[in-house]
Chains A and B, each alone.
Chain A
Amino acid sequence: DTEVTQTPKHLVMGMTNKKSLKCEQHMGHRAMYWYKQKAKKPPELMFVYSYEKLSINESVPSRFSPECPNSSLLNLHLHALQPEDSALYLCASSHLPGRVAGELFFGEGSRLTVL
């Protein structure tokens, strides 16, 4: 199984809603990532989890709250979002690198629209 599965594929939410994006992988990867991608732009790294612990937060607003309940799952909790947060949210995973990068496996993404 070489897949990273993201749900839901599409999400529309109001600015007062609370919702979550989910990501799952069963490749034994111990590093998992959230990226945000706006239209016609490259992905931007948001968060990195290593061994289920948050290791990198790229100055992301607190209305985005990540959670890694176990080595296969990664969630992104959303609350009080703004319309400019509308984007494609991509999850990825990799084996933990030492000083050498590991190959990244990406999911299909969750397309978020904030009204």
Chain B
Amino acid sequence: KNEVEQSPQNLTAQEGEFITINCSYSVGISALHWLQQHPGGGIVSLFMLSSGKKKHGRLIATINIQEKHSSLHITASHPRDSAVYICALSNYGGSQGNLIFGKGTKLSVKP
């Protein structure tokens, strides 16, 4: 069983739709990261969470430590949101920088 599972793997939405990407994990963590990667590009750190909820613009991330689950929400989606969204874990006892990466969710937002 993978330590971190993301769903869905692929997601197509119409511009303006509300989007949710889910991440479930099975290990103890010190933090959970949501990352964004555009095709052929570098990675942008969207959020780092250890509890509760964070909001930045149209993006909201939540985490439930007891249920080992996190969600990334995008409100009023736009074609420029098209990217791969990656959930990554900082693991207790794991070496520094050695994140456990999910396989990513590829989001396409159509105009």
B86 neighbours in A (Cβ, 8 Å): 42
Chain A interface bracket (under 10, 10 to 19, 20 to 34, 35 or more): 20 to 34
Q: Does B40 sit at the interface, judged by CB under 8 A?
A: yes
Decide if A100 is an interface residue (CB 8 Å cutoff). Answer: yes
Q: Is B90 an interface residue (CB 8 A)?
A: yes
> A101: which B residues are within 8 A, CB to CB?
30-31, 48, 90, 96
Q: Is B41 an interface residue (CB 8 A)?
A: yes
- Residue A48, interface by CB 8 Å: yes
Q: B25 near A: Cβ within 8 Å?
A: no
Contact A100 B45 (CB under 8 A): no
Contact A108 B41 (CB under 8 A): yes
Interface residues of B in 25-67 (CB under 8 A from A): 30-31, 33, 35, 40-45, 48, 50
Give a binary string over A19-42; 1 marks a CB under 8 Å from any B CB, 0 the rest: 000000000000101000000001
Which chain A residues have a beta carbon within 8 Å of chain B's beta carbons? 6, 31, 33, 42-43, 45, 48, 50, 55-56, 58, 88, 90, 92, 94, 96-97, 99-101, 103-109, 111
Contact residues of B with A, CB < 8 Å? 30-31, 33, 35, 40-45, 48, 50, 86, 88, 90, 92, 95-99, 101-104
Can you list 25 A-B pairs with a CB-CB distance of less than 8 A? A42-B86, A43-B99, A43-B101, A45-B95, A45-B98, A48-B96, A48-B97, A55-B96, A56-B96, A56-B97, A90-B43, A92-B43, A94-B97, A99-B30, A100-B30, A101-B31, A101-B48, A103-B33, A103-B45, A104-B33, A105-B45, A106-B42, A106-B43, A107-B42, A109-B41
